[in-house]
Chains A and B, each alone.
Chain A
Amino acid sequence: MSSNKIVLTSSDGESHEVEEVVARKLKIVGPMIENDCPDKAIILQNVTGKILALVIEYCKKHVDDDQVDASEEAKKKLKDWDEEFMKSPDLETFVKLMQASNYLNGLLGLTCQSVEDSIKDKSVEEIRESFGLENEEEEAIPRNTLELLKTQDLRCFLNPNNCFRFFL
């Protein structure tokens, strides 16, 4: 395998030289090499240097992911590294990393899984707060009260989150 180098440049002019196989972990890079940037210097308009450095760190760590003969221990170590990697940035950086992962089409699984792990036990109010969602309770999010009453266990009324829905 030839060790081709690609230069990835961020929106604020920071350049990183990486192996082609590492760069290709970002699905956006492949077509760019083939079509737009035959001289292998790629400018990533939507990603700042700080975020790009993090992304490259992840890609370098995961470059051998497709090899099937990794031991259970190696897989566990990688998983632990991923967890630490997700915990280390501050919140603002983490969100920027998420946006970058969407644009670059890489790390998506990991970033989305991290968010999911943190939100799954949250209340609806906290979700609205975090995602900046408009509370649309006043609009008709429809409820067929009678049908719900027929099929639900009456104990559900003990849950305060359920009560006000039935008595709108």
Chain B
Amino acid sequence: MSLKERFTILVTFQSSLFALKIFSQRAFMVLPFELIEEILHRTPAESLIRFKTACKRWYNLISRDKKFMYNHLDKSPERFLRIDGCEMVQIMDPATGISSVTPIPHVFRDTYSIISMVHCDGLMLCICRGHRANACLAVWNPVLRKFKWVKPSVRCWNSDYFGIGYDNASRDKYKILRFWGPLSHPNDDKSDPKFEIKESNSDSWRVLLGAEFDGEVDLDCRGVSVKGNMYWTAENNNKDGFILSFDFSMETFKDLCLCPPESSVTRKLACFDGDRLSLLQQHYEEESPEIEVWVTNKLSDVVVSFHRYLSVTKPGAAALCFNMAITGYSVGKHRNIMAWCEGVDHKEDDGRNVCIKFYEIDEGRITKQIVTGRYRQIIYRGSLNTRSYVYVPSLVSIPGQRNKR
């Protein structure tokens, strides 16, 4: 059964659970508007987009009321987003395993394909392939299906690091950060600024003077945005792993805390419970390595540190996926890990069969495994490239884009 068929059947089934009773005419006419607001607070963003044309009052609430929008966003559950071979976007609800499929914006196919993304408030900061080693930047909201290119000051490199966040004083004024990576190539003629920042209501970048940090950000860490600030895994001059943070309100870097001391591990950072960080570690030299998850206390606390949250001693097939692909993952409050990743079913001489699976793992075993797709990779290209991301759908409009009046 194809994904689409499965999706259609499950949606129909869910609707029919209440179909018999709910939809007679004008049943909810008597409800006061404050109750309707409560209902709409719990309605997924994808449905709200359709409902905003129901009447003017709903339009004003959904499209223009910032307080409603942010309250709704803060209550919304996480989704997983995956870009499928540069053509389609799959968005999955991890609670049900149901995913929707829509075409990716035309511009992100082929020439400007997306290399990686950073999520903040339902907006995806997309780092796209440009010409040669240059990168292009865009901000995209998959629910609104809108995006806007972000012009660099001079140029961006694929190996630059990017961040998206906001000043706590004004959440709707998003900022984008850019700084060089060790593989970036600053221009010989004029110096490209190492640290620069751009605000949503401005077309130009501002050089960040006095912003510095010791150490180097991990090469494959694209950063995580939590409550308006950015976080990366990095290595200091003593070769210890630590978490580097950038505060968009103060516009400064800070060493947040040390990573749990382990050598020969891959580290993946993610947002946990809305206002904390989780760190997933795996030894990269072992065949079926144990997965360890550490989490921090609240990032707003004065001192932040990691404590062990769960260990998966025999992850089995899932372990390969975590190591092989750049995977977004999410740690649930029931001590489980969810991830949507690719693994190799089996290899043959002229290629390999790749299986895309959504996993839910708890401390003892894999509790859920859903195959969402398969494809055959004819020529072996090294590590699998497709990325999945954790994101929260929102109605936040693209910064700097003029809204409908």
> A residues near B, CB below 8 A?
72, 87, 90-91, 94-95, 98-99, 102, 108, 112-124, 126-137, 139, 141-144, 147, 151-156, 161
Contact = CB atoms under 8 A, between A and B. Distances in A.
Contacts of B56: 136, 139, 141
A115 B35 CA distance: 11
Interface stretch (B36-44, B110-118, B236-244, B307-315): B36-44
A48 B218 CA distance: 64
A103 B318 CA distance: 49
Interface string B370-405: 000000000000000000000000000000011011
Contacts of B1: none
Say what secondary structure dominates the interface of chain A. Answer: helix
A134 B39 CA distance: 19
17 contacts: A108-B38, A115-B22, A116-B43, A117-B14, A117-B17, A118-B15, A119-B51, A120-B44, A126-B23, A128-B54, A130-B22, A130-B26, A141-B59, A143-B404, A144-B405, A153-B145, A161-B50
B53 A121 contact: no
Given A131-B36, A153-B105, A91 B146 contact: no
Nearest to A102: B35
A72 B334 contact: yes
Interface string B54-87: 1110110000000000000000000000000000
B55 A130 contact: no
A110 to B, nearest CB: 11
B405 A121 contact: no
Contacts of A152: 105, 145-146
Contacts of A130: 22-29
A128 B334 contact: no
Interface residues of B, number: 50
Contacts of B105: 151-153
A116 B58 CA distance: 15
B133 interface: no
A119 B43 contact: yes
Contacts of B42: 112-113, 116
Contacts of B47: 119-121
Contact of A151 (B25, B39, B54, B147): B147
A128 B55 contact: yes
B24 to A, nearest CB: 6
Contacts of A161: 50
Contacts of B11: 121
Given A72-B334, A120-B47, A153-B106, 17 more contacts: A91-B21, A91-B27, A94-B21, A95-B27, A99-B31, A112-B41, A117-B18, A119-B43, A119-B51, A120-B43, A124-B54, A129-B26, A131-B31, A134-B55, A142-B405, A144-B404, A151-B147
Interface of B: 11, 14-15, 17-19, 21-32, 34-36, 38-44, 47, 50-51, 53-56, 58-59, 103-106, 145-148, 334, 401-402, 404-405
A95 B55 contact: no
A89 to B, nearest CB: 8
Contacts of A156: 145
Contacts of A144: 402, 404-405
Contacts of A91: 21-22, 24, 27
Contact of B55 (A115, A135, A147): A135
Contacts of B59: 141
Contacts of B18: 87, 114, 117-118
B38 A112 contact: yes
A124 B23 contact: no
A112 B39 contact: yes
Nearest to A101: B35
Nearest to B57: A133
A144 to B, nearest CB: 5
A95 B30 contact: yes
Contact of A124 (B22, B53, B334): B53
A99 B27 CA distance: 12
Contacts of B405: 142, 144
Nearest to A154: B106
Contacts of A87: 17-18, 21
B146 A151 contact: yes
A115 B145 contact: no
B283 to A, nearest CB: 31
Nearest to B46: A120
B323 to A, nearest CB: 30
Contact of B103 (A129, A134, A153): A153
A161 to B, nearest CB: 8
